[in-house]
Amino acid sequence: MARPARIDRTQVLAEALALADEHGLESLTMAGVAGRLGVTPMALYRYVASKADLLDGIVELLLTEFPPPAPGLTWRKRLGALASNVRASARRHPSVFPLLLERPVATPEARQTRAAVYAALGESGVPQDRVAQVERLVSTALLGFAVSEVAGRFRDHSRRQLDADFDALEGMLAGFLQAQVGVETSG
């Protein structure tokens, strides 16, 4: 009879994220993750195919560590909640969060977050053939702010100022939606 698995993909990704949080992305190795789990590095390959797959899994965790916005909210409130959640994720994982600017969304679970943004943009009136482009632009602006914040670029500014700046950025992005794609941004 086969011995039951001691680990699963969820544990592998959680330990990888914890290792990278504690020691930086450069410390992230299959051997390091295996050591934290008390298994051999080869045991990890049942759950992640490669280090690239491990990094994609960390992106997944960063994008799915918060619950999705309630479906009953307006599209603008759902986008605002997603933006706030992503910013909070950056604060929890400052050394790892830049992966969201470096790696594409690759796992089905991570794609669900992007699909939620696509749905909200579609509901806002963004033409279907422009949704992917608008999502890229809006996401890059929000991720760039969050990475800049946790990387120390804004260290001379108070939390109050950064919150005001983030609110202003959200307002500018709403204006972008209205001006560039002709959607109504109230709601």
Within 8 A by CB and 6+ apart from 71, the residues are 78
Q: Report the CATH superfamily, name and number, of domain 9-48.
A: Homeodomain-like (1.10.10.60)
Give the single-character DSSP code of 70: P
> Residue 64 and residue 110: Cα distance in Å, rounded?
7
The model's pLDDT over 129-177, given as tens digits with 9 standing for 90+, comes to 999 999 999 999 999 999 999 999 999 999 999 999 999 999 999 888 8
Amino acid 174: pLDDT: 86
Where are the domain boundaries for CATH 1.10.10.60 in the chain?
A: 9-48
Give yes or no for a contact between 25 and 19, defined as CB atoms under 8 angstroms apart. no
Per-residue pLDDT band at 185 (split at 50, 70, 90): very low
| Residues with Cβ within 8 Å of residue 63, at least 6 apart in sequence | 86, 89, 100, 105, 109, 110, 113, 114
End-to-end CA distance of the chain: 59
Q: Kindly calculate the radius of gyration of the chain based on its CA atoms and give it in whole angstroms.
A: 19
Asked whether residue 77 carries a pLDDT value surpassing 60, the answer given is yes
Average pLDDT over residues 95-122: 92
Banded model confidence at residue 90, pLDDT cuts 50, 70, 90: very high
Q: Indicate the pTM of the whole model.
A: 0.86
What are 90's two structure tokens?
A: 């950056």
Confidence label for 18 from pLDDT (cuts 50, 70 and 90): very high
Q: Which residues, at least 6 apart from 178, have a Cβ–Cβ distance to it below 8 Å?
A: 184, 185
Structural contact between residues 113 and 151, judged by C-beta atoms closer than 8 angstroms = no
Fold of the domain spanning 62-181? Tetracycline Repressor; domain 2 (1.10.357)
CATH 1.10.357.10 maps onto the chain at: 62-181
